[in-house]
Amino acid sequence: MTLKTGDQYLKSQIGRASEAHVLGKKTNKLEHHGLVEPSRKAVAFTYDAAHNPESKETLRAVSHLCKDEVNRFTHLHQSAEDLVKKIKMQRYCGAMTGCCFQRCVGLDAANAIYSTTFDCDRKHGTQFHDRFRNYWTWIQKEDLVVDGAMTDPKGDRGRRPKDQLDPDLFLRVKERKSGGVVISGAKLHQTGMLNSHEILIMPTMSMRHGEEPWAICCAIPIDTPGVRYIYGRQASDTRKLECDTFDVGNPIFGGQEVMTVFEDVFVPEERIFLDGQVDFTGTLVERFASYHRQSYGGCKVGVGDVLIGATELIARMNGVEKVSHVREKIVEMIHLNETLYCCGLACSSQGYPTPGGNYQVDLLLANVCKLNVTRFPYELARLATDVAGGLLGTMPSSADLDDPEVGPYIRKYLAANPNYDVLDRMKVLRLIENLTIGAGAVGYLVESMHGAGPPAAQRIMIGRQAQLDEKVDRVMSLLSISEL
């Protein structure tokens, strides 16, 4: 088995996802599309990092399935140390790309499905765990990118899946055929979907009796007939289509979000990992959510490192790096970012083995981590905007900079600290703009709020995991209080 390089990954994507719709146009040649190419480069980085002497120890792990070295983005955690290395890997990738690198959801889905299928088989006598072991061993050997697909459209939030006017608003088993099932529905907010090889489909919530058709977990190749992909818009995204990418802010890497439609898609039996077992849908969702909430203590911290570095650099370029209130703001940014990292490390270090053998993060601390992520990156962005100044929203374009008539005026009047070139100052401002209000803000701010569930979801889990009755009992014992 060979760990793929970034170039090998990019070649493997040529011709996939033939039903992609981007800005109103159908295309099957995505590899050089201006909106898609930066996000594919971000995924390719995760492959190359596994070969880089600086990072390969963090990006590699020995699999207990295929008994060989694999990319950690396909690894099933075998210890608390594995969980910690996952966070370190995610921080590194975020810091090096300055964007979402799109492989975390599949990794988190795999670990959740692995332990859940084990528990389901033990109770119901099903064969899902062996199926998934075989499937994931193949994923590791082929070194593939897997998209985890959980979020359904949900329709009327006041109605259960079976009560929706359109049953496809939650992805479901529509029909049963010899050797498999036919599924119908959609998944929204699919990060990196068009850059994947495989799709792992999961239920979006805990299902109840009578909702068995919606209790489906399965896998399909990305180019399966009947799957349609509709590219999502991002702020200032068409800047990526301009000849000069100067105004993009992040000239190399980017993220990707896709609406994915499943129109009567056949799934063979060997790729089905839950099918109607409603009592394990909540378990799967909860475990996946905790892994993914842990992830944000790594990836968002890495992107935060980029934002902090850019903010410090623009302060120097503006000549205000020694001003006391500027120093306080940058120190506060560091404090908030490292607090998120502490949360990610904490829930990882307290991980524990599941009956299936892989390791689960501490659920309470993972939810504390993600709840902080719904706040702190927004404060980092506010402080960065404060330090950078109003040019974030008013700076002329690179086309004007190159214009022989007005270009000299821009170079003259946007000059600041003479130790830095005007063009370089504009580059840094564009990067901060990208991360705070541009296309990069989708992978940083919007994902921080809604990825792995919005704040209310974390608050619910924190309330469940806080062991309030035990805390009350301790106080009553301490004070010799008995219940009347």
Active site residues: 100, 104, 191, 257, 292, 296, 299, 447
Measured distance CA(199)–CA(272) in Å, rounded: 12
Give just the sign of the alpha carbon dihedral 293, 298, 302, 308.
Answer: positive
CA angle 376–377–380, rounded 5-degree value: 90
Q: How many CB atoms lie within 10 A of CB 333?
A: 24
Q: Which residues pair with 217 in a beta bridge?
A: 274
Residue with structure tokens 């492959």?
47
Q: How far is Cα 228 from Cα 199, in angstroms, rounded to an integer?
A: 13
Question: Which of 20, 416, 46, 395 shows the shortest CA–CA distance to 223?
Answer: 20
Among residues 108, 118, 99, the alpha carbon closest in space to that of 147 is found at: 108
Question: Token pair for residue 297?
Answer: 């203590």
| CA neighbor of 255 nearest in space, from 279, 236, 268 | 236
Nearest to 122 by CA among 341, 355, 324, 369: 355
Question: What is the signed CA dihedral for 235, 47, 286, 441, rounded to 10 degrees?
Answer: -20
Q: Which residue, 294, 356, 344, is CA-closest to 113?
A: 356
Give Cβ neighbours of residue 27 (< 8 Å, ≥ 6 apart).
20, 21, 33
Residue 293: name the closest of 369, 358, 346 by CA.
Answer: 369
Cβ–Cβ contacts within 10 Å for residue 92, how many? 22
Decide the pairing of beta strands 198-201 and 146-149.
parallel
For residue 172, the cross-strand partners are 184
322 and 110 in contact (C-beta within 8 Å)?
Answer: no
Residue 40 near residue 195 (C-beta atoms within 8 A): yes
As a residue count, the chain comes to 484
Q: Residue with structure tokens 């802010």?
A: 249
| 8-state DSSP, 299 | H
Alpha-carbon Rg for the chain in angstroms: 24
CB atoms within 10 A of CB 324: 7
